[in-house]
Structure 1
Amino acid sequence: MVSLGLHGLGIGAGASRPVIDAVAAAAERSGFATLWIGEHVVMVDEPSSRYPYDADGEMAVPADADWLDPLIALSFAAAATNRIGLATGVLLLPEHNPVVTAKRAASLDTLSGGHRFSLGIGVGWSREEFDALGVPFARRGRRTEEYVSAMRTLWRDDVATFAGEFVSFDRVRVNPKPRRRWIPVICGGNSDQALRRVAEWGDGWYGFNLADEEEVAERMSVLRGLCRELGRDLRDLRLSVSLREPTPASLAKLADIGVDELVVVATPPYDPIAAEAWVDDLARQYSGGFR
């Protein structure tokens, strides 16, 4: 069976505190596995960068929409719940200082109970966003890999030292530690290079806005081959995907492919009472097919 996740908070109507409370509590009660929240630090009205997750190359989210910081938004979702998983889907890691991000992630892990939070990360696609933040767009994939290694060092070691091309620190203490001294790092992206990151050093994959189950199967085949090449066991990875037009029938098809979680990407109503009913209706639509 395939778990069901919900990617519906942090943007627009989902950026309201009452809606976050209502959706998070209803999702936990209804059996959803994970609440996912994505990120863009800045948006521009007329981007030259092509959006890679839709055929027309344009985002559906308007540039003037409210878009919350995902770790702050997830902390509110954590406070409204007790068990449901929490995940960034995704945080654009190379845009952030990794030492600060390690501390923020460990703080959320600690406050949410120590077993609920996964750090979904991506390398980013918007050159305009990197320019606004003063971060080089080139070699952002290598920067991301090094940042993950540095953060894992900070989470693991009481006194941490790391020397890299993009980040270095010597004998520092960063507390709190995650409860397990480890936070799962889920790699987002659908390209071959993104899948190689999953196979090389990720704890899971978040495939976003894939066209259909056939595309999922094709991407999974590539990932399976990369895992064999690199000596990884695909069964050790958490595999989550979202589809452009998911249906309850998608659950059985994705289970056959080997996917662990279908993430429904949808926007809640602005009214908290209506948002709670909206979550309940989604759960009823998919009932019987997810765990």
Structure 2
Amino acid sequence: MRVGLHALGIGAGADRRVIDEVARAAEECGFFTLWSGEHVVMVDRPQSRYPYSDDGRIAVPSEADWIDPMIGLSFAAAATSTIQIATGVLLLPEHNPVLIAKQAATLDVLSGGRLTLGVGIGWSREEFDALGVPFARRATRTAEYVDAMRMLWRDDIASYNGEFVAFDSIRVNPKPLRDRKIPVVIGGNSDAALGRVAHWGDGWYGFNLEDIPAAGERLAALQRLCDQHGRDRGQLTTAISLRNPQPDVIDKVAALGVDELVVVDSPPEDPHAAADWVYVLAARWMVGETS
């Protein structure tokens, strides 16, 4: 069972010195992936409901630092050499897909082919409004963006004519290192999100699931949707995080056929304490794998 760490990008995890220490220690301890999420803007009194908590509220204070995940992960990649890096998740419909294709390929090349691009459709109407992007039909927009980005990564000269994005005979370099592909995993726990995974995703990141039964039910739903779309679920990667998990869930998560359990936590503000914080996490979650 792979164990990932979702700890960078917010609050103390947005501090360059903390990023360096956490990334290096996580690699040393054998964590498989460093995950970092995204919100471009936050608002003090949101009307939109946060889908990953029972009360519909996000736990991150609106005034907290929340750095861009592509930039933050570039620093994590520079401090390491083998640990995987992943956006968990980048809100793709808020961005220009040609620019994101360029940035993702650049980060993949500079990291030595370690990037997984986790994407989501977003839930905050206030955020879309601030960026001047339509909130409606954002799922359709996301699917088209991914399709166009895969073409840009694959083809030397690319043309695309869609509803939301169009370009003609353009070159976008560099190309991703792994056969000109970057894995695109889909965030979201709803049936609609799992449908996107089954239809066009390379994997699923299930975030903040309530418990093992909830995770099992969502994975069973994903299996049904894969059957409907003629996809082999075994070809998809799956990573999940749980609310208030204990180390004894690892075997249960493995039994569900999940590839990676992601530990979500916040590092200390003191950079000098960050490495020890990772070692304590590793001792709890990865007994026998620490250096």
Tell me which interval the TM-score lies in, with the shorter structure as reference length.
over 0.9
User: What is the DSSP-based 3-state SS (H/G/I as helix, E as strand, rest coil) of the residue aligned with 2:250?
Assistant: helix
- CA distance, structure 2, for counterparts of residue 96 and residue 25 of structure 1: 30
Query: What does residue 103 of structure 1 align with?
Result: 102
Aligned match for 2:160, one of 152, 162, 182: 162
Aligned match for 2:150, one of 149, 152, 166: 152
| Paired residues of 1:146 and 1:164 also in contact (CA < 8 A) | yes
Alignment-mate amino acid for residue 103 of structure 1: K
1:201-212 residue pairs with structure 2 within 5 A? 201-212=200-211
- CA distance, structure 1, for counterparts of residue 160 and residue 122 of structure 2: 24
Query: What does residue 123 of structure 1 align with?
Result: 121
TM-score, scaled to structure 2: 0.98
Alignment-mate amino acid for residue 175 of structure 1: N
User: What is the DSSP-based 3-state SS (H/G/I as helix, E as strand, rest coil) of the residue aligned with 1:278?
Assistant: helix
| Structure 1 segments unaligned to the other structure (5+ residues) | none
- CA distance, structure 1, for counterparts of residue 181 and residue 190 of structure 2: 26
Residues 1:183 and 2:182 aligned together:
yes
- CA distance, structure 1, for counterparts of residue 257 and residue 246 of structure 2: 17
Residues 1:81 and 2:83 aligned together:
no
User: What is the DSSP-based 3-state SS (H/G/I as helix, E as strand, rest coil) of the residue aligned with 2:213?
Assistant: helix
1:171-250 residue pairs with structure 2 within 5 A? 171-180=169-178, 181-250=180-249
- CA distance, structure 2, for counterparts of residue 245 and residue 259 of structure 1: 18
Shift, 1:286, TM fit: 1.2
User: What is the DSSP-based 3-state SS (H/G/I as helix, E as strand, rest coil) of the residue aligned with 1:90?
Assistant: strand
- CA distance, structure 2, for counterparts of residue 290 and residue 143 of structure 1: 42
Q: Deviations over 1:124-156 (max 9, x none)?
A: 000000000000000000000000000000000
**Residues paired across the two proteins, number:** 289
Residues 1:13 and 2:8 aligned together:
no
Query: What does residue 282 of structure 2 align with?
Result: 283
Alignment-mate amino acid for residue 186 of structure 1: V
1:258-269 residue pairs with structure 2 within 5 A? 258-269=257-268
1:49-64 residue pairs with structure 2 within 5 A? 49-64=48-63
User: What is the DSSP-based 3-state SS (H/G/I as helix, E as strand, rest coil) of the residue aligned with 2:4?
Assistant: strand
User: What is the DSSP-based 3-state SS (H/G/I as helix, E as strand, rest coil) of the residue aligned with 1:4?
Assistant: strand
Alignment-mate amino acid for residue 199 of structure 1: A
- CA distance, structure 1, for counterparts of residue 55 and residue 264 of structure 2: 18
User: What is the DSSP-based 3-state SS (H/G/I as helix, E as strand, rest coil) of the residue aligned with 1:207?
Assistant: strand
- CA distance, structure 2, for counterparts of residue 129 and residue 205 of structure 1: 23
Shift, 1:288, TM fit: 3.8
| Structure 2 segments unaligned to the other structure (5+ residues) | none
- CA distance, structure 2, for counterparts of residue 179 and residue 85 of structure 1: 14
Shift, 1:273, TM fit: 2.0
- CA distance, structure 1, for counterparts of residue 185 and residue 93 of structure 2: 15
| Paired residues of 1:248 and 1:289 also in contact (CA < 8 A) | no
TM-score, scaled to structure 1: 0.98
- CA distance, structure 1, for counterparts of residue 289 and residue 161 of structure 2: 44
| Paired residues of 1:188 and 1:207 also in contact (CA < 8 A) | yes
| Paired residues of 2:29 and 2:289 also in contact (CA < 8 A) | no
Alignment-mate amino acid for residue 140 of structure 1: R
- CA distance, structure 2, for counterparts of residue 249 and residue 274 of structure 1: 26
State, as a whole percentage, how many aligned pairs show the same letter. 65
Q: Write out the 4+ residue segments of structure 1 that deviate beyond 3 Å after TM superposition.
A: 288-291
Q: Deviations over 1:37-75 (max 9, x none)?
A: 000000000000010000000010000000000000000
User: What is the DSSP-based 3-state SS (H/G/I as helix, E as strand, rest coil) of the residue aligned with 2:20?
Assistant: helix
Alignment-mate amino acid for residue 277 of structure 2: W
Query: What does residue 4 of structure 1 align with?
Result: 3
